[in-house]
Structure 1
Amino acid sequence: MKWLIRIVVVLVVLIAVGLWYGWSQIDRLIKYGIETGTPPVVQTSVTVAAVKLSPFSGIGIIEGFEIGNPKGFTSPRAVRIGKAEVALDTSSVSTDKIVIKHIRIADPEINLEAGLGGTNLKHIADNAKSFASQQSTAASGNGGASAPAPADESQPKKSIKLQVDELLITGAKLSASAAGLVPGANANVTLPDIRLTNLGSGGAGISPAELTAQILSRISTEAAKASASGSLKNLLQGGGEAKLGGGALKKLLGK
């Protein structure tokens, strides 16, 4: 009987060690997933300094998240988030749709740069929309009546679906410039709070690409509004509109 108890104890210890090791690596896995999965969506570089997630509470912190600028823009990055808090519903992790209770982003740095082809933020948001649309089209095609192709590595894998109950962005610091169009034209302002709710609620949820597209589109819209009014109005009136003619710069900013 003693040998049986010892075997059970050893097995329990081995399982505990295995679980501990698995959870100890989850932060690295999430960081790796963000840095490898997001660039194809936004078509520019994405880096993360650190990820810290509690497997018990489901609350995590993402630190030093940065989105680089597309080609043709001069500033080193488009968005920098010093710290974002994420709260997961841990019971949903093993289901078909992962539920995120909230994402709270405080004091992000947003660089809006206007160029002849539009703004950097609009470029990135459009890239995310295009990627999400392609994913949706591919998924619809796979649901057709045609015979399945032989299984290989090229076959599309089951996509992750998400639900975000609340996304809150507060104190976003916007730096706007049009150096390529109007040398020296730049201004700074704090954007109003951005709050999105019930993203992907009901049904199958939304893909990470669709979530990224929605967030970036909203940021781009709010940044464009701020750049054409209030304390950033001088960016448009300080020679920019005269040089480009009429409301051309406003159009570049998405107005």
Structure 2
Amino acid sequence: MKKILVIVAVLAAAAIAAYFVLQNPLGRLVKLAVEEFGPEMTQAAVRVSSVNISATDGRGALSGLFLGNPKGFKSDYALKAGTVKIELEPASLAKDVVVIRRILIDAPQIGYEKAGNITNFDAIQRNVEAYLGAKGGKGEKPKQESGKRMIIDSFVIRNARVNYNDMLELKLPDIELRNVGKKTGGATSAQVVKAIIAELNTQLAIALAKAAVIGSVGGVVVGAGAALKGLFDK
């Protein structure tokens, strides 16, 4: 009788554990991957509060996305977003290349800072490139990642607000990257991050340059010229 009770207790405990683990196994794996490899790639804090993705229809979201700054920068964050919506192709989860239909980051807050001759996004971009081995020494091969690769049909950042050096705030034009990784039959996570950071870095520089021009010719953006002076000083 005791053996039967022990077996029942063990099975019950296993069932309870399985219930909590299987509630959102994909989301848990994504959260683990983001928080483990994100800091390695960017040399900055990367975390998410939670991830929920349905393996049935491929829809889900990351909540509380946070990207910190590399050493040498004072601002609290480089990017933070309340919600990141994701839509992927469920059938591709069992394949080597995962197809992500859409990633949407809506209304993120971006902290753009210059320290010395580089900005925080310059530093993050360089760190990701170094992770890939793109700027290694002569004869050094780019770092190869194991695991699944991905194709992203559409990656969108919209309604972003940018704070530059705590002196200037402006709205960043919407950004969309299409068919990321498609030409190569799939990209690694680091290659995807590199493409996103590079485009975001470019658009930030353009937006701030435009703000400087507007401020200098019409004073539409109060203090823009002074706030951006340091960005273009050599």
Q: Is the 8 A contact 1:228 1:236 kept in 2?
A: no
Q: Given the alignment, which residue of 193, 196, 209 partners 2:177?
A: 196
Q: Is the 8 A contact 1:166 1:197 kept in 2?
A: yes
The code of the aligned residue for 1:78 comes to A
Give the deviation of 1:21 after TM superposition. 4.4
Q: In the alignment, which residue of structure 1 is the partner of 2:72?
A: 72
**Aligned residue pairs: how many?**
208
Q: Given the alignment, which residue of 163, 174, 195 partners 2:151?
A: 163
Structure 1 pair 171/61, CA: closer, same or farther in 2 (3 Å)? same
Q: In the alignment, which residue of structure 1 is the partner of 2:11?
A: none
Give the deviation of 1:24 after TM superposition. 3.2
Structure 1 pair 81/158, CA: closer, same or farther in 2 (3 Å)? same
Q: Is the 8 A contact 1:163 1:206 kept in 2?
A: yes
Q: Is the 8 A contact 2:24 2:52 kept in 1?
A: no
The code of the aligned residue for 1:170 comes to R
Give the CA RMSD over aligned residues: 2.7
Q: Is the 8 A contact 2:26 2:54 kept in 1?
A: no
Q: Is the 8 A contact 1:27 1:52 kept in 2?
A: yes
Q: Equivalent residues in 2 for 1:69-108 (5 A)?
A: 69-108=69-108
Give the deviation of 1:81 after TM superposition. 1.3
Q: Equivalent residues in 2 for 1:108-187 (5 A)?
A: 108-133=108-133, 137-139=142-144, 158-177=146-165, 186-187=167-168
The code of the aligned residue for 2:207 comes to A
Give the TM-score normalised by structure 2: 0.79
The code of the aligned residue for 2:112 comes to L
Q: Deviations over 1:179-232 (max 9, x none)?
A: xxxxxx710001111011011114431110010011111111111111122267
Larger RCO of the pair (alpha carbons < 8 Å, separation 6+)? 1
Give the TM-score normalised by structure 1: 0.73
2:206 aligned counterpart, secondary structure: helix
Report the Cα distance in structure 1 between the residues aligned to 2:184 and 2:210, rounded to whole angstroms.
39
Report the Cα distance in structure 2 between the residues aligned to 1:41 and 1:235, rounded to whole angstroms.
35
Q: In the alignment, which residue of structure 2 is the partner of 1:250?
A: 232
Q: Is the 8 A contact 2:109 2:160 kept in 1?
A: yes
Q: Is the 8 A contact 1:112 1:120 kept in 2?
A: yes
Structure 1 pair 235/27, CA: closer, same or farther in 2 (3 Å)? same
Report the Cα distance in structure 1 between the residues aligned to 2:141 and 2:81, rounded to whole angstroms.
28
The code of the aligned residue for 1:37 comes to F
Structure 1 pair 92/240, CA: closer, same or farther in 2 (3 Å)? closer
Q: In the alignment, which residue of structure 1 is the partner of 2:38?
A: 38
Flag structure 2 segments of 5+ consecutive residues without an equivalent: 1-13, 135-139, 216-221
Report the Cα distance in structure 2 between the residues aligned to 1:61 and 1:127, rounded to whole angstroms.
26
Report the Cα distance in structure 2 between the residues aligned to 1:23 and 1:129, rounded to whole angstroms.
36
2:133 aligned counterpart, secondary structure: helix
Flag structure 1 segments of 5+ consecutive residues without an equivalent: 1-13, 140-156, 178-184
The code of the aligned residue for 2:226 comes to G
Q: Is the 8 A contact 1:49 1:65 kept in 2?
A: yes
Q: Is the 8 A contact 1:162 1:207 kept in 2?
A: yes
